[in-house]
Amino acid sequence: MDIDLKWIHIGNENLKSKDTSIPVYEANKEKLKGKKNIVTEYKGAISNKDVLDFYKENTINLYISVSETEGLPVSMMEVISFGIPILATNVGGCDEIVTNKAGVLIPKDFDSAKVANQIKEFRLSEMNDSNFRDGVRSFLEGKL
């Protein structure tokens, strides 16, 4: 990807778990180290209050979740309460939260090049606009 971006990873990376996605995650972190246009920041496990304060105090253009499984993701409900659009895999209850009013769903077995293109398209789309963000917030209020 040839655009400038900053990836902020919040949460416990569960590196000791038997989750099969951990080696993929580690390999991708390693690949990003040499990219001059991509800045990474790994916050690790922080309190829910600190997460919400982070969303309140920072401009976040897009929340990305490429989970292989989900229940009803509370983290996504929290994010859209701040008007942050979401790009997420279509697993578990994600399709109840991530509609065309709140973001974009991608298949569980996604192609990374297509996701990179989706991020590039997002930058120039109406989803990266304050009016859409207001709509994201309103979408959540309508769900409550």
**Among 143, 144, 43, 66, which Cα is nearest to 112's?**
66
Residues 103-117: pLDDT tens digits?
A: 999 999 988 888 888
**Model pLDDT, residue 143:** 60
Q: Which residues span the domain enclosing 96?
A: 64-144
In a domain, 57, yes or no: no
In a domain, 100, yes or no: yes
Looking at the structure, do residues 73 and 137 belong to the same domain, yes or no? yes
Looking at the structure, do residues 81 and 138 belong to the same domain, yes or no? yes
**Model pLDDT, residue 105:** 94
In the chain, the number of structural domains is 2
Rounded Cα gap, residues 14 and 129, in angstroms: 34
Residue 4's alpha-carbon distances to 70, 106, 119, 141, in angstroms, are 29, 22, 11, 32
Rounded Cα gap, residues 62 and 50, in angstroms: 18
**Which amino acid is located at 104 in the chain?**
V
Looking at the structure, do residues 116 and 86 belong to the same domain, yes or no? yes
In a domain, 75, yes or no: yes
pLDDT tens sequence for the chain (144 residues): 577 888 888 876 666 666 666 677 777 778 778 888 888 888 888 899 999 999 999 999 999 998 888 888 889 999 999 999 999 999 999 999 999 999 999 999 988 888 888 999 999 999 999 999 889 988 877 764
Looking at the structure, do residues 86 and 28 belong to the same domain, yes or no? no
**Model pLDDT, residue 53:** 96
**Model pLDDT, residue 104:** 93
Residue 94's domain is classified under what CATH number? 3.40.50.2000
Give the predicted TM-score (pTM) of the model: 0.85
